[in-house]
Amino acid sequence: MRNNLSFINVYKKKNKSEIVTQLLYGDTFTKVKKEGSWLKIKNHSDNYKGFIKKKFFPKNEKSTHKVFNLFANLYKKPNVKIKKKISFGSKIKVTKKKNNFFKFENFWIKKKDLKPINYKSRDVFKCTKKFVNAKYRWGGQTL
C-alpha cells in the first residue's frame, strides 16, 4: 500500500498511544491485519510496525518520482502556488506533464524538485551537503 497524505502518524498501540514513526507522502507499507477502526501495518522504509486509523487507508498506486529537495511547493495549477509543501523523499505518481510542471493527484509540482523513483545519486551526501551549507535567515541575521 502507499500513503497519499502529507503524513500519517503510526502508533505503538491502537489507541493513539506513543508515535513510533510516520508515513510520509508516498511511503509504502504492508497491511498486517485489521482491528476495528485500526490497521496494523509494517512500514517498508524503516520496518516499524504499528497502527494507523483505517480512515487513512490510502489507495495502492505505484510511485513514478520522488522529491529531491528539502521540500517542494505545491501548485493548484502550473504557476498558481498554494500554501502546501511536501518534504524530501516523498514519493508521487505523475499523471500529466505541462512545461516545467508535473501533475499528481490534484496538485502540480515543479519538475526541478523531482527525480525519477529509481534515480540513484553518485554522491549520496550531495543533498545533505546542500542543506547543511544553506544559509538560514532569522531576524535579518545569517545563522
Is residue 140 a part of any domain in this protein? no
Is residue 1 a part of any domain in this protein? no
**29 and 88 share one domain:** no
Task: Give the chain's domain count.
Answer: 2
**106 and 83 share one domain:** yes
Burial-class residue 27 by CB neighbours within 10 Å (0-12, 13-18, 19+).
buried
**71 and 101 share one domain:** yes
Whole-prediction pTM:
0.55
What SS3 state is found at 39? Answer: strand
Write out pLDDT tens, residues 7-35.
Answer: 888 999 988 789 988 888 888 888 899 88
Is residue 120 a part of any domain in this protein? yes
Phi-psi region of 60 (alpha: psi -120 to 50; beta: other; left: phi over 0): beta
Question: Which domain does 30 fall in, by range?
Answer: 7-56
Q: Would you state the cell numbers that stand for residue 102, as one nine-digit string?
A: 508535473
**32 and 88 share one domain:** no
Write out pLDDT tens, residues 69-119.
Answer: 888 999 999 999 999 888 888 888 899 999 999 999 889 999 999 999 888
What's the CATH number where 113 sits? 2.30.30
Is residue 51 a part of any domain in this protein? yes
Q: Which of 88, 133, 132, 125 is nearest to 109 (CA)?
A: 88
What's the CATH number where 47 sits? 2.30.30.40
